[in-house]
Amino acid sequence: MAFDEERKQWEEQVLRPLISKYPERKAEFETPSGIPLDRVALPQEEFDYLEKLGFPGSYPFTRGVQPTMYRGRYWTMRQYAGFAAAEESNRRYRYLLEQGQTGLSVAFDLPTQIGYDADDSLAAGEVGKVGVSISSLRDMEILFSGIPLEKVSTSMTINAPAAVLLAMYIAVAKRQGVEEKYLRGTIQNDVLKEYVARGTYIFPPKPSMRLITDIFKYCSTNVPRWNTISISGYHIREAGSTAVQEVAFTLADAIAYVQAALDSGLEVDSFASQLSFFFAAHNNFLEEVAKFRAARRLWAEIMRNRFGAKKPHSWMLRFHTQTGGSTLTAQQPENNIVRVAIQALAAVMGGTQSLHTNGMDEALWLPTEKSVRVALRTQQIIAHESGVADTVDPLGGSYVIEYLTDEIANRARAYIEKIDAMGGALAAIENGYMQSEIQDSAYRAQKAIESGEQVVVGLNAFQVEEDLDLEALTVDPAIEAHQRKQLKALRENRDNVRVSELLSRLESAAKTEENLMPLFIECVENDITLGEICGVLRQVWGEYQPPAWL
């Protein structure tokens, strides 16, 4: 089919039906000089690109998952935040929403991430330090006090106990009078990368995968607008991987999750559209843009050809991006504003669906209100002033971008084939293959910085003597005592006979194949804590112990 004919068909069948949905954005765009911007910006003489690239919103989605992309609506501006107790984090969320943020993203403290209550002896010294402390439904109610959950999209970075935190979120919504079918958001729920790169695992792989598929099944029926997993390359990249490894290992993990869901009896098209992804954006602008495009193309191929998904929405790789925390420097922290702007621009040019921009001071301490405001303003300036959102896939057709997209896709595909030959992602994790590859890449990168081969401005070049004159945000140690006091009162005032009955039911259900999500919701609604639920599951399933040689 000739280019003009295919383009006309795409506009009539795909693009035009969507344009009327977004009257708040202009139908036509021009540069500040008055130059009209084409929606696609693909050179018509480059016919050889057409079959490979397709059009925006069409297979293989190299050019984006929506025909209009940001001409229809901007990406969700979702700043990652959470510290101290629920009251403090609630104030930060409401501040960010007042500043124009369009979605919430919850950071939990380390005890919450590994399933311990704030009054557990193992939580001592860590309560509220790297995120908000959530032990009970009461904490979750306070966290979202005054925030209408039917109107906001919420992302929660939680993995091993993700099902319990989702149960709390659903219970809070019910108390607000919001039906769960209207809830929008994401739970990370990606335990495989915890074994590879991050370490906040609790249970062994088999029961962990069971919890994940329980969430898939429950949400496919009851919470259809919820993203049931955010398969994370971010932490793989932050641990030291290359961009190619980030794509390959993330998609290998995703293949394992899809296969586990199929093995549990789900049909691929019943859950695939609720899968989402999470990538890092680092400093090499062109490679990062190409990385996002390559990931979309590969995933579309995998879902259509490997798993036989029939629905176009099942082929789409939708992703959140966070700018790279590991790229920030404590030296000359103002330079991090520039790094974050470059990384955020790469994410937008690469077609992200939502974005978090790091604060300039995050290499030093928790970001202050001023630094998160600057980070949010960075996104808003890109959206409203830069012009890059006015056309779809603005770098598409660039020789270097298309070359890099092809190379990343081909090299990532080779990694996936090697992992398949080992028996899949879980086998590759168990034999330490992914971990070893990441460690080798991290070592090479660090050596390049130490030798000066890789310049990091302010760190190994262009240094200055400086006295930091920045406001610091610290967590009051009294938060821990406050949380302990609240938990003591909770346990004294709840129906402990009912609690014992439910924990006994949970122990029995964990030994079967029963979907645990409804029981988790019932437990948290009766003031059973996160630590108590995870404690029962630890007794039944045990805890994961990594091989001694890793």
Tell me phi and psi for residue 462, to 5 degrees: 55, 40
Token pair recorded at residue 527? 């003031």
306-316: average pLDDT: 97
Q: Tell me which residue of 299, 284, 285 sits closest to 231, measured CA to CA.
A: 299
Break the chain into its structural domains and give their ranges: 69-451
Pull the structure tokens for residue 286: 């062109």
CA 482 to chain centre: 31
Give CA–CA dist 459/500, Å, rounded: 56
Q: What is the helix (H) or strand (E) element at residue 157, kind and residue range?
A: strand 153-157
Q: Contact, 401 vs 233, CB < 8 A?
A: no
pLDDT for the residue 160: 97
Kind and range of the H or E element at 76?
strand 76-81
Q: Which residues pair with 177 in a beta bridge?
A: none
Both tokens assigned to 353: 């669906």
Tell me the per-residue pLDDT of 361-372, one tens digit each, with 9 for 90 and over. Answer: 999 988 999 999
Q: Of 491, 501, 497, 493, nearest to 531 (Cα)?
A: 491
What CA–CA distance (Å, rounded) separates 344 from 337? 10
Residue 441 CA to residue 447 CA, distance in Å, equals 10
Q: Who contacts 253 (Cβ-Cβ below 8 Å, separation ≥6)?
A: 190, 192, 193, 196, 231, 425
Q: What is the dihedral of CA 299, 266, 67, 231, to 10 degrees?
A: -50
**pLDDT exceeds 70 at position 51:** no
Averaged pLDDT, 135-159:
96
Question: What is the token pair recorded at 50?
Answer: 């057409």
Q: 532: which 2 tokens?
A: 């108590």
For residues 165-173, give the mean pLDDT. 98
pLDDT (0 to 100) of residue 353 = 97
DSSP string, 113-140: HTT--TTSGGGTTTTTSSSB---SHHHH
Per-residue tokens: 448: 């390049």
Number of H helices and E strands in the chain, helices first, is 23, 9
CA–CA separation, 143 vs 152, rounded Å?
A: 14
Tens-digit pLDDT profile for residues 474-520: 888 899 999 999 999 999 999 999 999 999 999 999 999 999 999 99
pLDDT score at 42? 47
Domain 69-451 has CATH 3.20.20.240: yes
Residue pointed to by tokens 């001023």: 370
Mean pLDDT score across all residues of the chain: 92
Stretch (H or E) spanning 508: helix 496-510
What are the C-alpha distances in Å from 204 to residues 192, 255, 543? 10, 19, 6
Rounded to whole angstroms, how far apart are CA atoms 317 and 298?
9
pLDDT band at 28, cuts 50/70/90? low
Give tens-digit pLDDT for 95-113.
Answer: 999 999 988 999 999 999 9
DSSP 190-240: --HHIIIII----S-HHHHHHHHHHHHHHHHHH-TTEE-EEEESHHHHHTT
pLDDT of residue 16: 67
Residue length, the chain?
A: 550
Instruction: Classify residue 307 as left (phi > 0), alpha (psi -120 to 50) or beta.
Output: alpha
* C-alpha pair distances (Å), 410 with each of 251, 298, 319, 501: 13, 9, 20, 54
Q: Is the pLDDT of residue 47 over 80?
A: no
Percent of the chain with pLDDT over 70: 91
pLDDT for the residue numbered 414: 97
- How far is 178 from 191, CA to CA, in rounded Å? 29
d(CA 110, CA 108) in angstroms, rounded, equals 7
Distance CA(55)–CA(67), nearest Å, equals 7
Question: Looking at the predicted structure, is the pLDDT value of residue 48 above 70?
Answer: no
> How many Å separate Cα 315 from the centre of its chain?
18
Q: Is it the case that residue 223 has pLDDT exceeding 70?
A: yes
Dist. CA 311–CA 282, nearest whole Å: 32
3-class secondary structure, 304: helix
State the average pLDDT over residues 168-196: 96
Q: What is the pLDDT of residues 371-400, one digit of tens each?
A: 999 999 999 999 999 999 999 999 998 888
**Average pLDDT for 230-236:** 97
Determine the Cα–Cα distance for residues 117 and 138; give it in Å rounded to an integer: 13
**If DSSP codes are grouped into helix, strand and coil, which group holds residue 277?**
strand
Q: What is the pLDDT of residue 12?
A: 74
Residue 43's pLDDT is what?
47
- Which residue's entry shows tokens 């590994």? 114
Check residue 2 and give its pLDDT: 64
Helices in 285-368 by DSSP H: which ranges? 285-301, 312-315, 335-349
Q: Are 254 and 412 in contact (CB under 8 A)?
A: no
Give the long-range contacts of residues 96-102, CB within 8 A, separation 24 or more: 96/372, 96/376, 97/147, 97/152, 99/373, 99/376, 100/376, 100/380, 101/77, 101/376, 102/74, 102/76, 102/77, 102/78, 102/153
- Residue 64 · residue 388 · CB < 8 Å: no
